[in-house]
Structure 1
């Protein structure tokens, strides 16, 4: 695993090289628009967004110090959109007792989704390692829509603990928590 400035690189045995870099709104707007407006991204809440709206959202996130967006690649091809945020600076933070070291994460696996066995687990494991690469991050908080059965199952398989149901302006969600592993080696997320 290596992190140089704002780029993360991890060679995942049997899977390939996962790299993660910040979203570049001007360069990535077409790709992101194509992803977030698909039916499978319905829980992302941007299905009707124009390309300009998607660009504007990611340009806004790029200007914040509390929220960040990243593109994860596998062997050079775009594979996932990852967003991190400080829960205390987000509406989620009003729904539970935020602890020092909490980091919120949103994940969208990009189309086309691979039918390759273990793809999502291996990619998610590398993303979790990326998030925990910052030693100040002690717990990941995720709040998927309660209707997103696939993500709810993925989180439980990946070691997250289910928390309470919460009401957010755009959805009813279930909080999930993953404490920082002792060795920070979260290589496979189920």
Structure 2
């Protein structure tokens, strides 16, 4: 049974629901999304369904990082992650303030079927995150011009380009990444 953490009807979009990723149930769906070329910036290309399940099971075990499946009228449209920047490599690249929260967003392959979709969806996600936080930080790949432009359209203020350091732990490996930070304050 999926526990909805947030639900809101968005005019012109439908009902947006946010629920924790269930690694066992959602791994095949997420696997399909992250292995498309359009998701190359997500950094999980070439993973197997089992590896995706393991990654999200690990994420689910952390008190500082959370994965969510976002639906529109009960159809999955996005993978959304939140994290405490002090417990993440991005925290090494800027001055983390009390109330900061980091987010990552991957839209489903068929998620933006009409103009304004991503902006409306992002509005609901921002509202969800800023209920108990004061500032959002995003760190899209510096080469991901579409994501950076989308964040600016929603109101994020571009920050510096940084190099996120490599993470090489037994449970996770993340290669070094050039990222463009951006911030949205409540």
Structure 2 partner of 1:172: 178
Deviation beyond 6 Å, 4+ runs, structure 1: none
Question: What's the CA shift for 1:113?
Answer: 3.3
Query: How far apart, CA to CA, are the structure 1 residues paired with 2:65 and 2:104?
Result: 11
Measured at CA, do residues 82 and 150 of structure 1 come closer, stay the same or move farther in structure 2, by a change above 3 Å?
same
Q: How does 1:123-142 map to 2 (within 5 A)?
A: 123-134=121-132, 137-142=133-138
Structure 2 partner of 1:119: 117
Question: What's the CA shift for 1:114?
Answer: 2.7
Unpaired segments ≥5 residues, structure 2: 167-174
TM-score, normalised with respect to structure 1: 0.89
TM-score, normalised with respect to structure 2: 0.91
Aligned equivalent of 1:59, options 53, 57, 60: 57
Question: What's the CA shift for 1:45?
Answer: 0.3
Q: How does 1:69-148 map to 2 (within 5 A)?
A: 69-134=67-132, 137-148=133-144
SS at the partner of 1:162? strand
Q: How does 1:21-40 map to 2 (within 5 A)?
A: 21-40=19-38
Query: How far apart, CA to CA, are the structure 1 residues paired with 2:137 and 2:44?
Result: 21
Question: What's the CA shift for 1:6?
Answer: 5.1
1:153 and 2:149 aligned: yes
SS at the partner of 1:100? coil
Structure 2 partner of 1:188: none
Query: How far apart, CA to CA, are the structure 1 residues paired with 2:114 and 2:4?
Result: 29
Task: Provide the alpha-carbon RMSD of the alignment.
Answer: 1.0
Number of aligned residue pairs: 174
Query: How far apart, CA to CA, are the structure 1 residues paired with 2:71 and 2:131?
Result: 17
